[in-house]
Structure 1
Amino acid sequence: MAENKDVVIHAGREHYRAEVLAGGKRVVVDEPLEVGGKDAGPTPYDLLLGSIGACTAMTLRMYADRKGWPLESVVVRLRQARKYDADCAECVSAPVGVHQVERELELEGDLTDEQRARLTELADRCPIKQTLERGLHVIAAPEPADAAVS
């Protein structure tokens, strides 16, 4: 099992832009021009959907490879009707609700009907999707000692 590593996010004074550093790789996250961002990268919701979709595709790839099935490619298309800027504006007063994500799968390869059905079933078992569906609690960690004001 992979070692847990920190993901570090830095947001400076540039409007809505943040940088995510994970495993030595950097991703710029931003908002579209119409909400005041510079559209320099995916939005936070894009990354959320990307995490679900990538995990789904990787789960299906691993399973098909283990079984020796002729899965050539997986395309996962996800969509949701959420607007990050509107959610932020209402984050204190809005009631908590359930967000729905619609998923389409395209499985390419010379697969039998049974193999396609099994892969479609397994798409619901990706660990990221399961984590989100079971409930995710983000807790405040103690402030690092070197960040404390003396």
Structure 2
Amino acid sequence: MTVTARSLKNLQVEIQASNHAILADEPIRDGGDDAGPSPYDLLLSSLAACKVMTVHLYARRKQWPVETVSLTLNHRKISADECEDCQTQGKAKVDIIECEISFDGDLDEAQIKRLADIADRCPIHRTLTSETKIRTAVLS
């Protein structure tokens, strides 16, 4: 899996992901032209898409009647000392992603609970909550 990116005018970035072109940008308040989603919008979009797809694949395999999965994600940064369940301490910033999820379909409470658990096991969720190394090489 390879994604390429190339700067355009101002803060706009042309992203090529498989056969799909995406334009990323920053909002006007942050110096961009608001011509596309911001990097954090793209991050949350990836997580949202992965959670929805993972739930649908699981429900399909179980033959559960999931019609629609709806999801809202919010991101914010807080001071670690404001976070009751964070390992980081002090004034360091901690990223908080809040997720609200709902399922449409003739599902019982046990199925709904299981689907919520499955959503939290999607590959992107696991990547974001595990140790990740990013190794950068500068090409000349």
- TM-score normalized by the length of structure 2: 0.85
In the TM superposition, what is the alpha-carbon distance from 1:81 to its structure 2 partner?
2.1
Given the alignment, which residue of 103, 110, 115 partners 1:114?
A: 110
The aligned residue for residue 75 of structure 1 is: 70
Partner Cα separation in structure 2 for residue 100 and residue 111 of structure 1: 29
The aligned residue for residue 51 of structure 1 is: 46
Partner Cα separation in structure 1 for residue 34 and residue 138 of structure 2: 33
The aligned residue for residue 86 of structure 1 is: none
User: Aligned ranges for residues 24-39 of structure 1 at < 5 Å?
Assistant: 24-39=19-34
Indicate yes or no: 2:52 matched with 1:60. Answer: no
Q: Do the aligned partners of residues 34 and 101 (structure 1) sit closer, same or farther apart at CA in structure 2, a change above 3 Å counting? A: same
User: Aligned ranges for residues 1-150 of structure 1 at < 5 Å?
Assistant: 5-12=1-8, 14-81=9-76, 97-141=93-137, 143=139, 148=140
CA deviations 1:36-88 (Å, max 9, x no partner) are: 21111100000000111110001000000000000001011000125xxxxxx
Greater strand content: 2
Partner Cα separation in structure 2 for residue 110 and residue 28 of structure 1: 38
Given residue 135 of structure 2, which amino acid in structure 1 is its aligned partner? I
Partner Cα separation in structure 2 for residue 50 and residue 30 of structure 1: 14
Greater helix content: 1
Flag structure 1 segments of 5+ consecutive residues without an equivalent: 83-94
Give the root-mean-square deviation of aligned CA atoms: 1.5
Flag structure 2 segments of 5+ consecutive residues without an equivalent: 78-90
Given residue 27 of structure 2, which amino acid in structure 1 is its aligned partner? P
Partner Cα separation in structure 1 for residue 55 and residue 137 of structure 2: 34
In the TM superposition, what is the alpha-carbon distance from 1:142 to its structure 2 partner?
6.0
- TM-score normalized by the length of structure 1: 0.79
Partner Cα separation in structure 2 for residue 10 and residue 122 of structure 1: 35
